[in-house]
Amino acid sequence: MTVTYSSKVANATFFGFHRLLLKWRGSIYKLLYREFIVFAVLYTAISLVYRLLLTGAQKRYFEKLSIYCDRYAEQIPVTFVLGFYVTLVVNRWWNQFVNLPWPDRLMFLISSSVHGSDEHGRLLRRTLMRYVNLTSLLIFRSVSTAVYKRFPTMDHVVEAGFMTTDERKLFNHLKSPHLKYWVPFIWFGNLATKARNEGRIRDSVDLQSLMTEMNRYRSWCSLLFGYDWVGIPLVYTQVVTLAVYTFFFACLIGRQFLDPTKGYAGHDLDLYIPIFTLLQFFFYAGWLKVAEQLINPFGEDDDDFETNWCIDRNLQVSLLAVDEMHMSLPKMKKDIYWDDSAARPPYTLAAADYCIPSFLGSTVQMGKQMPKNEWKTEDIKIPLPQPQFQCAKSDPGG
């Protein structure tokens, strides 16, 4: 799904982006080639009808219609509505990505706060972590088509190990017409409180930290649900789509090459192929396709989020952190810079050019260029301030 090309553009080079233009997966060519072919075929068909099938009077009428469409098509504000719409969609897409639920902070807290190396302590930590992953799975099932295809029923969730049979019965016993992704949150809170009462969580501050972090995780999940529930207003999407396709429908007629012998303004050449009109279609329709792909990043497009990978990664990493890595510490040893006050890691030959001196301020270079000056206070005469007003002399006889 997600197309990653960061390593190919790590350095700015001559025609550095030209290598990206040859990629097919996730490219604009893959998204747009069907519409582009349809537009080119329709344009060619209209051109052939004008050149070969119309009579003289019909051609004159078509030429007037073409000039009319070309003149007034530019009044459609395609650039404005499309640019604002794509900006809105991209911001919405990025906000959804930065609010994906990641359990890393919770797994750190659970591993360090829920004590006990016995089987019950291990069961507590793994169960708490499983409730966290179950919550994100329920949210992903409700918003992502790829995840729903993987877990179409709650039986698949149980078989995958995210929920036990008893938990599934309790889950189904709760009658609610709403999405019940919040149920594992309640189980998490109840189990954490029980662990505090049993002394497995030794401080109320640790319990509060767990609850605070779980609430943050819940906020991420509910935000994804909100994005899925309330999208960009349909009327705006319709306006943008109609503006783009109406503009290019007018271009099918307005951008035709007319008979040069008739002397129409702007029709001195007959090139048959409308190169710049095709480029304009490629850019504007491609812009619309970008919005179409990003408006819901939880689908199955090439650049949609890898939600199934997120589920796999979060479950494996979180269980590893709270179970095998619980109180697992490497032996402490003195580091290689123990007696070195100016520690500096070595550079390889390939990275030698990146070894640069520390920046001490822009005025340091001025000091190197200026001549050396010594303090000479004996040659400097500081003028004394002169009185601004003269006092009136007192009368001796007064």
Radius of gyration of the chain (CA): 36
Whole-number Å distance between alpha carbons of 162 and 133: 7
**Residue 151 corresponds to which tokens in the numbers above?**
């877990």
Type of residue found at 303: D
pLDDT digits (tens, 9 = 90+) for 265-312: 888 888 888 999 999 999 999 999 999 999 999 999 888 999 999 999
Give the span between the Cα atoms of 155 and 121, in whole angstroms. Answer: 28
Let me know how long the chain is: 398
Q: What is the largest CA-CA distance in the chain?
A: 127
- pTM for the full predicted model: 0.83
Half-sphere exposure of 333 (CA within 13 A, CB side): 4
For residues 321 and 332, give the distance between their C-alpha atoms in angstroms, rounded to a whole number: 20
pLDDT digits (tens, 9 = 90+) for 33-76: 999 999 999 999 999 999 999 988 999 999 999 999 999 998 99
Q: Report CA 397 to chain centroid distance, whole Å.
A: 93
Rounded CA gap, 259 and 122, in Å?
84
Question: Is the distance from CB of 185 to CB of 214 less than 8 angstroms?
Answer: yes
> What contacts 69, CB < 8 A, 6 or more positions away?
250, 251, 253, 254
Residue whose C-alpha is closest to residue 291's, from 83, 150, 29 = 83
pLDDT digits (tens, 9 = 90+) for 84-106: 999 999 999 999 999 999 999 99
- Predicted confidence (pLDDT) per residue in 339-365, tens digit: 888 888 999 999 988 888 888 888 877
> Structure tokens of 244?
């783009």
